[in-house]
């Protein structure tokens, strides 16, 4: 123990001695030994600080990117749904050209009114639909059902619903009838006149008499016909698939219109009113409206029917030739002078 203490003091004495005398050799040796240690320590501290900052920075970046990723996923779902809707609209838009302007509204199904029942659906209600009455529903260019506003809710009664009813014409003879939906997804046409000539395969169209649909909208084809005591009935297979529905056309005004050079941006359409020969019936609103150049205006010319009659052979008689007047050769060809002779000049 004493030896160690003595050795320590000797070393301390030598260090102090060399330091006091300004011996640079020992200082250099000590610096050579301690400098790498200091550098290693400093570098280690810096690297640890950088690792700590990187870890914290990465954590913040991960949180930020995770939040942005969730937002982008939500945007992607919205945009995908939006593009799907646009794609469906592009399939529907060509049929819009065949329908009168300002008479239809695009509606979209919200859901079914009852579980395990595909006959009645709920529709989003347009602002223009305010009257509690029956409206027509079309898919592309054919009938898919009817709609009715009840207690502020717009119900869609598809072809499988017994509440789906509208007037129709059958075949080339335009036999009238009332189409009623059935659970099987087919239509039953009641009250067809017994004397009407209809057959299987005849095309059924809307009549427009009930002001639910436009006239001549395709409905389906006749599958079978039954004769009852006072009228006929027919089963019709519809053209539209009521189970596959995306966007539907709701007809809120089935009043017919006449138009030419249709342009949705410029053409103004007015309801067609019944006219008589030489007179026209106008509503109070139409009296203040100016005539549009794109509207078809028709007039009835006054025609004398007797001028265009073709006489029959019995009534045709040869015309008697009248004698030509004789020419008097004794009359002088010189003009007569007025009274007074040449004095008038």
Return the DSSP state at 341: G
pLDDT score at 192 = 95
Task: Report the relative pairing of strands 231-238 and 218-227 from DSSP bridges.
Answer: antiparallel
Q: Average pLDDT for consecutive 10-residue bins of the chain (345 residues)?
A: 69 64 61 74 83 80 86 79 74 66 82 88 86 88 92 91 95 94 91 93 93 91 93 95 87 66 48 36 41 38 45 50 54 47 43
Measured distance between the N- and C-terminal CA atoms of the chain, rounded to whole angstroms: 181
pLDDT of residue 96: 64
126: which residues sit within 8 A by CB, 6+ positions away? 105, 107, 250, 252
The reported pLDDT for the residue numbered 178 is: 96
- 226, 217, 85, 87 alpha-carbon torsion, rounded to 10°: 110
Q: What integer pLDDT is reported at residue 317 of this predicted model?
A: 52
101, 268 in Cβ contact below 8 A? no
Strand partners of residue 332? none
Are the C-beta atoms of residues 238 and 142 closer than 8 Å to each other? yes
Residue 99 confidence (pLDDT): 64
Half-sphere exposure of 267 (CA within 13 A, CB side): 16
Give the pLDDT confidence score for residue 29 in this predicted structure: 67
Q: Which residues of 46-79 are buried (b: 16+ CB within 10 A; e: fewer)?
A: eeeeeeeeeeeeeeeeeeeeeeeeeeeeeeeeee
Question: Dihedral (C-alpha) 201, 206, 210, 213: value to the nearest 10 degrees?
Answer: 150
Nearest in space to 88 (alpha carbons), one of 218, 249, 201, 225: 249
Is residue 225 within 8 A of residue 199, CB to CB? The reply is yes
């Amino acid at each position: 123990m004493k030896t160690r203490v003595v050795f320590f003091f000797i070393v301390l004495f030598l260090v102090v001695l060399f330091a006091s005398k300004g011996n640079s050799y020992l200082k250099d040796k000590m610096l050579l030994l301690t400098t790498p240690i200091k550098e290693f320590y400093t570098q280690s501290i810096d690297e640890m600080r950088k690792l700590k900052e990187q870890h914290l920075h990465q954590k913040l970046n991960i949180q930020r990117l995770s939040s942005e990723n969730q937002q982008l996923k939500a945007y992607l779902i919205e945009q995908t749904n939006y593009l799907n809707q646009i794609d469906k609209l592009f399939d529907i838009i060509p049929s819009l050209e065949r329908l009168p302007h300002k008479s239809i509204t695009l509606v979209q199904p919200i859901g079914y009114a009852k579980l395990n029942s595909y006959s009645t659906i709920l529709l989003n209600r347009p602002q223009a639909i305010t009257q509690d009455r029956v409206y027509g529903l079309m898919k592309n260019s054919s009938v898919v059902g009817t709609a009715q506003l009840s207690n502020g809710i717009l119900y869609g009664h598809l072809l499988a619903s017994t509440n789906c009813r509208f007037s129709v014409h059958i075949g080339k003879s335009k036999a009238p009838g009332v189409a009623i939906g059935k659970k099987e997804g087919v239509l039953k046409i009641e009250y067809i006149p017994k004397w009407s000539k209809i057959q299987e395969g005849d095309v059924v169209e809307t009549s427009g008499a009930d002001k639910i649909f436009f006239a001549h909208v395709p409905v389906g084809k006749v599958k079978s016909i039954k004769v009852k005591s006072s009228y006929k009935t027919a089963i019709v297979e519809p053209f539209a698939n009521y189970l596959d529905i995306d966007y539907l056309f709701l007809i809120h005004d089935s009043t017919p219109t006449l138009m030419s050079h249709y342009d949705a941006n410029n053409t103004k359409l007015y309801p067609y009113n019944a006219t008589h020969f030489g007179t026209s019936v106008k509503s109070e609103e139409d009296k203040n409206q100016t005539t549009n150049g794109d509207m078809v205006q028709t007039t009835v010319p006054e025609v004398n029917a007797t001028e265009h009659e073709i006489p029959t052979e019995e009534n045709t008689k040869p015309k008697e030739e009248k004698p030509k007047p004789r020419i008097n050769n004794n009359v002088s060809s010189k003009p007569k002078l007025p009274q007074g002779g040449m004095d008038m000049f």
